[in-house]
Amino acid sequence: MNETVHPKRSRRSSGAITLRDVAKLAGVAPITASRALNTPAQVSDEVRQKVLEAVQRTGYVPNRMAGGLASSRSRLIAAIVPSTVMSVFMETIESLNHSLFDAGYQLMLGQSDYSAAHEELLLEAVIGRRPDGIFLTGILPPGRARTRLLASGIPVLETWDLTPTPIDMLIGFSHLDIGRAVASFLMGKGRRRFALIRAQDERAGRRATAFAEAVAQSGHADALVINVGDARSLKGGREAMARVLREAPDTDAVFCSSDLLALGAMTEARAQGILIPERIAIVGFGDVPFLADMVPSLSTVRINGADIGRQAARFLIERAEGRAVSPSIVDIGFTIVERDTT
Amino acid sequence: MNETVHPKRSRRSSGAITLRDVAKLAGVAPITASRALNTPAQVSDEVRQKVLEAVQRTGYVPNRMAGGLASSRSRLIAAIVPSTVMSVFMETIESLNHSLFDAGYQLMLGQSDYSAAHEELLLEAVIGRRPDGIFLTGILPPGRARTRLLASGIPVLETWDLTPTPIDMLIGFSHLDIGRAVASFLMGKGRRRFALIRAQDERAGRRATAFAEAVAQSGHADALVINVGDARSLKGGREAMARVLREAPDTDAVFCSSDLLALGAMTEARAQGILIPERIAIVGFGDVPFLADMVPSLSTVRINGADIGRQAARFLIERAEGRAVSPSIVDIGFTIVERDTT
DNA sequence: TTGAAAGCGCTAACAA
DNA sequence: TTGTTAGCGCTTTCAA
């Protein structure tokens, strides 16, 4: 009876139940308990039974930090998005998160606010967690952040854009193609005087430029370009549309860099009694879920965000588990969804 | 020359630069390098200088899994929300994420999809990461998940609701009060025949019930209650409004459990040529950023989500760092924002 | 102010 | 199939 009755844990212990406790209760070695939980096929039925019972009784929850440290596999995936509120990226993040969770991975979310400086800080913090993969929205331009990431050896998936020279994997679509496609779509409808309402976002800029070049090459007057700060501001769209109507009253088609800006533009047009699509056609970008049911419903460019998320999860997990088989560059394309506003 | 020229790392090493490498380069012991980075005040200027230089030269990024394991502090906060896409919670998550990042913490995001079963799995996975705190949307009802969480000893912050018996900390508001307040607000405007459009969500249910009781107690006819599945579906709001107009054509006020449902209701009313607010008043819930600029602009119940996020970060970090000073229950309140639709 | 030793809780590697 | 041993990369503890 001189054994410790209160099994005094070392002063450093966190106090939680550990695999050792479980193993002791099950009467096996810790590594055997570990195998019973992680690779059950490697263990006899009887042992597995006893270990699971001990887990139940103790309420043991494995410490993934310890596991990750020992195995160099954190089962953590980091995602960096420019914004979350009312944003077109959330559909992707939602499906990514689901797919990851089903495979036993956890998502760490970082928000860059469209700032390169912030993104660099974020990446540094993220690398410190040693995630098994990093999901980036956009292409990471050459620079310190990219060098760091490369040096870290963590699998990286860039999305939402195309480049012949990704860091590693890429799932995206061409913003230039979208600009051109929307331009021909509208020209095909007989529209002749164009305006662009675009947020301060480099990718939106490329769509706009491609659009403007396409209409110019077809011999039309230069498109009027209105810059607004925030892609999520309906108000910005309203004000931009007011300027369009003032500065180029003969405009008959407007391409907006987000659905919310488009909704703002529609709102202003309606407030001024301008008929849509009769007088002016409007096209948005993103296909946020609910605008399909507005009256009039918004024509827009649809990106299959959920599909990006699913494929991203697959790619990242494949890399994490060392079976890299998928092609590393995927163009996921886009669709012009025609509804009432054109 | 018999020293290893290629400093062969042990077969288990991840290969990344470690604190040891930095320390060696700086000519100090690992623990000194650790102090130079984490508690610079404890170290001489000269040593600090040399260590920082070595960090620069090597591109060292500390392994937070190892640090967390050794110190029992992960600097990770987990947040569980019912949904992310087009959701009223994202404003909170965004500000939580920012506040955490500024304090050197990282956010892990889990999505419960309004499912208790899923939430339990999520919590189990989350506990395994040993976060320094857990942010929950809603109150966790007694049950296995709550017991587990309690046993884990991880600080928990419940939000978005009130209860006298939180697990630990609480930042919320009263759904009953909201239901009652909106009822008196509408009755005060002279409205007499009410309808509720509500999503399948327990909290929305409580707002609706309180609303219905309040109008009944004032001697009005029972409010018509229409259930819809998804709070984020504009279409659901439209269909519900169509039913309201069919089943109770004399309805003159509708309270919807989300702004998106309210937008759907408005859309349907307009499609049927019904004047808002003249014939029917509409009130939403959540005050999603952009609806203020619609025409007509939506009257709604505003929750200061960004403030919840900020305070949540403060509470959780205080607990994590062992200086628990804030009150543990905070009623953050709500505001009825009157706009065009009433 | 600096360092040596030990250990956080787990798993890889090797052995039986 | 099971166990022993030795780390993973860091920080706590204690000592100088």
Please state the domain extents for chain B: 7-62, 74-173+305-333, 175-302
User: Does residue A66 reach within 7 angstroms of strand C, measured from its CB?
Assistant: yes
What residues does A253 pair with on adjacent strands? A194, A281
pLDDT tens for A34-46 read 999 999 999 999 9
Q: How far is the CA of B39 from the C1' of C15 (A)?
A: 44
B6 pLDDT higher than 60: no
User: Does residue A14 reach within 7 angstroms of strand D, measured from its CB?
Assistant: no
What tokens were used for B155?
């600080």
Chain D bases having any atom below 7 Å from a protein CB: 1-5, 7-14
Query: What number does CATH give the domain B7-62?
Result: 1.10.260.40
Inspect the interface and report whether the beta carbons of B101 and A125 lie closer than 8 Å: yes
What residues does B195 pair with on adjacent strands? B224, B254
Cβ of A102: how many Cβ atoms within 10 Å?
9
Q: What mean pLDDT do residues A136-151 have? A: 93
Q: Left if phi > 0, otherwise alpha if psi is -120 to 50, otherwise beta: which for A108?
A: beta
Give the pLDDT confidence score for residue A341 in this predicted structure: 96
Fold equal for B7-62 and B74-173+305-333 = no
Closest chain B C-alpha to A130 CA, distance in angstroms: 7
User: Does residue A67 reach within 7 angstroms of strand C, measured from its CB?
Assistant: yes
Most B-contacting residue of A106, A118, A152 (CB-CB within 10 A), to test interface: A106
Q: What mean pLDDT do residues B174-179 have? A: 98
3-state class (DSSP) for residue B302: strand
Query: Which of A178-182, B6-10, B260-264 shows the lowest per-residue confidence on average (mean pLDDT)?
Result: B6-10
CA distance B25 to A210: 51
- Sorted by sequence, the CB contacts under 8 Å of residue B340 that are 6+ apart come out as B276, B277, B295, B296, B297, B298, B299
**Chain B 56-75 contacts with nucleic strand D (CB below 7 A):** 60, 62-63, 66-67, 69-71, 73
Q: Which residue is nearest to nucleotide C1 (CA to C1')?
A: B43
Asked whether A207 and A177 are in contact (CB, 8 A), the reply is no
CA distance A218 to A310: 39
- Sorted by sequence, the CB contacts under 8 Å of residue B165 that are 6+ apart come out as none
CA distance A77 to A305: 18
User: Does residue B9 reach within 7 angstroms of strand D, measured from its CB?
Assistant: yes
Give the pLDDT confidence score for residue A203 in this predicted structure: 96
pLDDT tens for B322-335 read 887 777 899 999 99
Share of chain B above pLDDT 70, in %: 96
> What residues of chain A, 284 to 313, have a C-beta less than 8 Å from chain B?
288-295
Q: How far is the CA of B131 from the C1' of C4 (A)?
A: 31
Q: What mean pLDDT do residues A299-307 have? A: 97
Most A-contacting residue of B61, B130, B147, B154 (CB-CB within 10 A), to test interface: B61
* Whole-prediction pTM: 0.94
Give the pLDDT confidence score for residue A11 in this predicted structure: 67
Inspect the interface and report whether the beta carbons of B125 and A111 lie closer than 8 Å: no
Chain B CB contacts of A101 under 8 Å are 110, 122, 125
Return the closest nucleotide (C1') to the Cα of B64.
D10
CA distance A288 to A337: 12
Chain C bases having any atom below 7 Å from a protein CB: 1-5, 7-14
Give the containing element (helix H, strand E) for B68.
helix B64-71
Inspect the interface and report whether the beta carbons of B62 and A128 lie closer than 8 Å: yes
Return the closest nucleotide (C1') to the Cα of A71.
C11
Return the closest nucleotide (C1') to the Cα of B42.
C1
Asked whether A224 and A251 are in contact (CB, 8 A), the reply is yes
Q: Left if phi > 0, otherwise alpha if psi is -120 to 50, otherwise beta: which for B186?
A: alpha
Asked whether A95 and A40 are in contact (CB, 8 A), the reply is no
Share of chain A above pLDDT 70, in %: 97
Return the closest nucleotide (C1') to the Cα of B63.
D9
Q: Which residue of B has its CA nearest to A147?
A: B59
**B11 shares contact with chain A (CB less than 8 Å):** no
pLDDT tens for B278-292 read 999 999 999 987 788
Q: Which residue is nearest to nucleotide D2 (CA to C1')?
A: A32
Which of B298, B302, B159, B174 is CA-nearest to residue B234? B298
Cβ of A338: how many Cβ atoms within 10 Å?
13
Give the containing element (helix H, strand E) for B337.
strand B335-337
Return the CATH architecture of domain A175-302.
3-Layer(aba) Sandwich (3.40)
Computed over every residue of chain A, the mean pLDDT equals: 93
User: Does residue A63 reach within 7 angstroms of strand C, measured from its CB?
Assistant: yes
B7 pLDDT higher than 80: no
B270 pLDDT higher than 80: yes
Q: How far is the CA of A72 from the C1' of C13 (A)?
A: 15
Q: What mean pLDDT do residues A198-204 have? A: 95
Inspect the interface and report whether the beta carbons of B86 and A267 lie closer than 8 Å: no
Q: Least CB-CB distance to B235: which of A104, A122, A293? A: A293
* Topology, domain A74-173+305-333: Rossmann fold (3.40.50)
B1 pLDDT higher than 80: no
- Sorted by sequence, the CB contacts under 8 Å of residue B44 that are 6+ apart come out as none
Chain B CB contacts of A262 under 8 Å are none
User: Does residue B26 reach within 7 angstroms of strand C, measured from its CB?
Assistant: no
Query: Which of A80-89, A180-189, B51-60, B102-111 shows the lowest per-residue confidence on average (mean pLDDT)?
Result: A80-89
pLDDT tens for A80-107 read 999 998 889 999 999 999 999 999 999 9
Inspect the interface and report whether the beta carbons of B61 and A97 lie closer than 8 Å: no
> What residues of chain A, 73 to 132, have a C-beta less than 8 Å from chain B?
74, 76, 83-86, 90-91, 93-94, 97-98, 101, 104, 106-111, 122, 124-130
Q: How far is the CA of A61 from the C1' of C10 (A)?
A: 12
